[in-house]
Structure 1
Amino acid sequence: MSYIDNLNLWKNAKDLEPELGAQFKAMSEQELLEAFSSDLEFGTAGLRGLIGPGTGKMNLYTIRRATLAFLQFLQKKYSLTDLKEKGVIIGHDNRHFSEKFAQEVAEIFASNGVKAILFHNNDLRPTPMVSYTIRKIGATAGVIITASHNSREYNGYKIYDHNGSQFLPVDTDVIGENYLKIKEEVFTLNLHPQPELLTFVSQTVEENYVEDVKAMQFYPGQKRNIKIVFSNLHGTSKDWTPRILRECGYDVIIVEEQFNNDPDFTYAPNPNPELAECFDLPIKYAQKHNADIIILNDPDADRLGIGIRQGDNSYYLMTGNETAPVLLEYLFSHYQKNNTLPTNGVMYNTFVTGNLSDKVAESYGVEVVKTLTGFKWIGDQMAKAPNQNRTFLFGFEEAYGYVLKDIVRDKDGIQASLVIAEACWYYHNLGKSFLDILNEQYEKFGYYYCNTVNLVRTGVEGPEIIKGMLKTLRENTLPALNGISCVKKEDYLTGLYNMPGQDLLKFYFADGSWFAVRASGTEPKIKFYFVCVDKSAQGAKTKMQLMYQELAEKYLNN
């Protein structure tokens, strides 16, 4: 639909929700243009956008539109009996309107013969809990209202299949087509939910999750002699991660300012563990209490960030590409020690993750399988693994997302937190820190410097600027950067390595370095993933900086 069509749809709607209606009437011409020039699209993680009036924003009518589109898809995929008896799990985070949106989703399903299964009292829950519960009770699908690590202005709509994995494009494309066809009806819904179809997840299932996470320990019941500073960044792991850590014997110090479920994220305005600013308060707590490690979950608890104490009582913030190899070493060495390392073990990561984790896995005889970006691809591979005679051992993205046990088929910052804590305790008792383990890996496999550069381009023209950058890199030859020859260029648009197409480019250089570039599926940004290798840490970092500087000057002048 055109800008005018979208705008008229709202202008002609009767009885707009009062708060939205008032905001709509007060919008400037520029605000109207940004809100109605496009529709939200299903991206790498469903829908995500700024909260507010408009077809391109997250609001009550966008939620209705998405749910009706999803409902049409489910009604074609499943029998009426399955939908009525197995139902759909519905969760939400702590954001503005999340509870209201989740209730609306539930009432739409329950008004159309589908069992809607909310969490107790429609209370907030971590995203991993939705994935876990779907499989635990055999639901047909799941929905969670969340914008993950985005700032308070955002909300989102994420959907899961019966395997507890995010849907793949083969399905979301169909749902997206349904979505675009749904128009006026979102303003005239007359819901009559059947009371027997509005139900709640058994609290026994939630306790099963806790026990399954605790069962991941190699040394249960042993005295823990490390201190952990923990922050949930105002989000949903508040009642889960600290509880599990404490029940496993850890001394957990809460960052009080960031503990309450504040939808304004007052003390964590950009609640993304990838950002150093999220650690400012936790580091003060850690220094005060002489903590060994800082653990952060993002607001929907699917990610994890850590800070490790150094000798001068400062804290080193480890990236995803640094955390994963350390986790792998801890897990695989213990599987090997316990004679539980399978001969058909597999680790999944993406085409944009660093090389060090691959080297560690392969040194233990574990197969490495690469997927497209977006954890849904890893979840899909996890579901297929048994039929491929593979045993899942680990999955991760460089963007601080890990899954260590196949109880969840999405990123799980809660299970990762517990294993990180035990690994920290284990190496502490050997007189080592994570940085020691990481440096041992560098000495063995080479120094890799991994850095992701995000360029944000907002406004109506933002998407076109991003498309222009990708077009330039796709159509032009890139002979060298920083004097290092480019030896290969991969274009994933039409599909490579038995994976569907994705708008991703990857450039390989003669020294073993590479960079990849793609547009975010849920935010107005283009992402550059650099992995540079050298004989020293500083050499690898300097190489990356010089390569990006030349790339920006010659090819990214938008």
Structure 2
Amino acid sequence: MASRISITELAQEWLRLDQNPETRKEISTLLETNNNAELEARLRNHIEFGTAGLRASMEAGFSRMNDLTVIQASQGLCLYVLEHVKDAKERGVVIGHDHRHHSNDFARLTAGVFLSKGVKVYAYKDLVHTPMVPFGVKSLNAACGIMITASHNPKKDNGYKVYWGNACQIIPPHDEGIAKMILDNLDPWVWDYKSFENPALIDPTDKLVPAYFDQVEKLCIAKEDNAASDTKFVYTAMHGVGYPFAKQVFERFGFKPLIPTKEQIEPDPEFPTVVFPNPEEGKGALALAFKTADEVGATVVFANDPDADRFTVAEKQDNGEWILFTGNQIGTMFACNALENWRSSGKSDAKVAMLCSTVSSNMLAKVSKTEGIHWEDTLTGFKWIGNRAIDLEKEGYNVIFGYEEAIGFMLGDIVRDKDGVSALGCFAQMTAALYKKGVKISGYLDSLYKKYGYFVSANSYFICYEKETIDRIFNKMRFGASPQNDETGRFSHKPTYPTHIGPHKVTNVRDLTLGYDTSKKDGVPTLPVSPSAQMITFYLENGCVFTLRTSGTEPKIKYYLEVSSSTQQEAELQAKEIEAAMCSQLLEPEVNGLQYRVSA
């Protein structure tokens, strides 16, 4: 919306377009009470469509998730797909949804938009975990897919995740093309809550859920041993959709039933027992699962996030302490186990590749170099990992594993996306084999450290809601305290990054926002550049690498720091020291009013 339009006119435009009585009332009340500040926040800007699709809090307004903005997004996506995908009407769209407030309505409204243009619609009418949408796109050769979910975000949020016809999340330039098409088609064509009752709509659940598990079951290589295992596994769905899928993968792998954390097993959009429904947030998020495990005498806890595309694991040690493994640690164990299974399969002469995001551990690179297999890193997000995996397949590689440190894991080629359910089955299988040999998970990880070196990470985030503050922080890293702009608003000189972080010399810097890499002769980085997101990586003389970046879906400045050494103690000491220096020197939390992460 143009800035010259008054806030009253914007509110009237909302009321003209919106057909939901509840959200109409929200805006009407704000108008009546002259709450212009809140109206500005909600109406002045349109919710931004990017490679992550949409994600925002659920309330009235053009910048929020609600019936109107979901319909508008669906209209833009529908027209873009019809224009750019051959036979899109016949190939159709796959739609899924989780259990969050309004997810069912958003899925129905989305289906109604596509049906109104004669597009074939496959919609899972019941709850599914997110990987069922890309699996559906791949299995049905659909033109695109949409999952209504906000993953592990707080309960007030919802989202709209888009998959392209290759069954991967969209990457540029599709995001920009879809965003433009949305803004060109803001008047609703249809407002159909009853689309799931339309006889033209197809529910693929009965066909595709068994087909999905048939594929996942192929990752099972030791069903008899799994069935004989006495290992007890406690599971939490984090109030999400995962339990029926987790239960079935355990059955397919031959295990005795999972032991559920009863307080968190049923889908509940209120997420009553956790501040953040994210198992990555720390031991607090898994407190009830630990309590259940202690009660039943289990030493292993598994968790999925609410839409079950992420997975994590914790293990009770002999001293009674619970260790919650990081995404990097789980990823390294998965990678080494996948490689071992691949070689045992008799296919070790084939070209094998593994992938991880650029903010994930360098340990996978070390493993791959040592073992003589192909490895690459990508930009953050499985949209990049999945699309690169497809490209490598075309080059003759078998991409047996990919991961990102945010507890996302891709086992095999069932979906080129993270999948917490296939990860659950495979990690349980690995754990059972270790326990049979009398080896704990932590012991297996330590054996990998001894072989490849100790890699210690310090990953966390600060919360910041002001874009201006975030831009100022990152631009100070690039240009010092007083960056100079030319008349066009662009910076008028080359960046002058810090030469030291604490006592440690900076050897090179890669800035994927500006598109600048000091290690390259031409200054051009090999990874794609994204001017709309902040991301800078620093390489230190002692081998430490750390990245600072903004989140595409949350108001966070995230950082990922890693140090490797021949001993764990030395690596941990260096990581702690450099983390403190990085935060105080580059982020200046007190000066910039940053809020450190809150434990779940």
- The normalised TM-score by structure 2 is 0.88
Q: Distance in 2 between matches of 1:32 and 1:394?
A: 47
Q: Residue type of the partner of 1:125?
A: V
Residue 464 (structure 1) aligned with residue 492 (structure 2): no
In the superposition, relative to structure 1, how do residues 167 and 440 fare at CA in structure 2: closer, same or farther (>3 Å)?
A: same
Q: Indicate whether 1:125 and 2:128 are aligned.
A: yes
**Contact 2:241/2:266, CA 8 A, preserved across alignment:** no
1:324-473 matches, within 5 Å, as 324-458=331-465, 462-473=466-477
Of the two structures, which has the highest relative contact order with CA contacts closer than 8 Å and spacing of 6 or more?
A: 1
Number of residue pairs aligned between Structure 1 and Structure 2: 549
> 64-73 or 499-508: which moved more?
499-508
How far apart, CA to CA, are the structure 1 residues paired with 2:88 and 2:211?
24
Question: Equivalent residue of 1:177, what SS?
Answer: helix
Match of 1:480 in 2: 500
2:119 to 114, 117, 128: 114
2:206 maps to which residue? 203
Provide, for residues 164-219 of structure 1, a one-character-per-residue CA deviation record: whole Å limited to 9, x for no partner: 10011211111112223333x13x74669794532211512210111211220120
How far did residue 280 of structure 1 move?
A: 0.8
Residue equivalent to 1:510: 541
Aligned to 2:568: 537
How far has the Cα of 1:154 moved from its partner? 0.4
User: Which residue of structure 2 aligns with residue 259 of structure 1?
Assistant: 265
**In structure 2, distance between residues paired with 1:524 and 1:39:** 17
Q: Does structure 1 residue 243 correspond to structure 2 residue 248?
A: yes
1:310 aligns with 2:311: no
Higher alpha-carbon deviation: 304-313 or 477-486: 477-486
Percentage of identical aligned residues: 29
Task: Name which of structure 1's ranges 68-77 and 172-181 shifts more when overlaid on structure 2.
Answer: 172-181
| 1:83 matched to 2:114 | no
Matched, 1:160 2:156: no
2:295 corresponds to:
288
Distance change >3 Å, CA 137–CA 195, structure 1 → 2: same
Deviation, structure 1 residue 43: 3.2
Q: 1-side partners of 2:104 and 2:8: how far apart?
A: 27
Q: Deviations over 1:268-320 (max 9, x none)?
A: 33111211121111111111112131110011111001101211232100000
d(CA) in 1 for partners of 2:551 and 2:2? 24
Contact 1:449 1:541 in 2 (8 A): yes
When structure 1 is superposed on structure 2, of 489-498 and 525-534 the one drifting more is 489-498
1:527 alignment partner, SS class: strand
CA 1:481–1:535 in structure 2 vs 1: closer, same or farther (change >3 Å)? Answer: farther
2:273 partner amino acid: Y
Runs of at least 5 residues in structure 2 that lack an aligned partner in the other structure = 481-496, 516-523, 593-600
Partner Cα separation in structure 2 for residue 5 and residue 133 of structure 1? 45
* Contact residue 229 and residue 436 of structure 2 kept, 8 A: no
Distance 1:491 1:474 in 2: 9
Following the alignment from structure 1 to structure 2, what is the Cα–Cα distance between the partners of residues 554 and 334?
Answer: 45
Pair 1:270-2:276 in alignment: yes
Instruction: Please list the CA deviations of residues 460-514 of structure 1 after superposition, one character each: whole Å capped at 9, or x if unmatched.
Output: xx11111111211222421222311111111123556543213421100111111
Higher mean alpha-carbon deviation, 145-154 vs 218-227, is at 218-227
Aligned to 1:499: 527
Tell me the C-alpha RMSD between the 2 structures. Answer: 2.0
Moved over 6 A (4+): none
Equivalent residue for 2:141? 138
Q: 1:226–1:251: 8 Å Cα contact kept in structure 2?
A: no
Q: Deviations over 1:102-131 (max 9, x none)?
A: 000001100111111111xx1111110111
Q: Give the Cα–Cα distance (whole angstroms) in 2 for the partners of residues 5 and 175 of structure 1.
A: 27
In 2: Cα distance, 1:151 partner to 1:25 partner: 26
**Unaligned regions of 5+ residues in structure 1, if any?**
none
CA displacement at 1:551 relative to structure 2: 2.4
Give the superposition deviation at 1:515: 0.5
Secondary structure in 1 matching 2:279: coil
Q: How does 1:541-552 map to 2 (within 5 A)?
A: 541-552=572-583
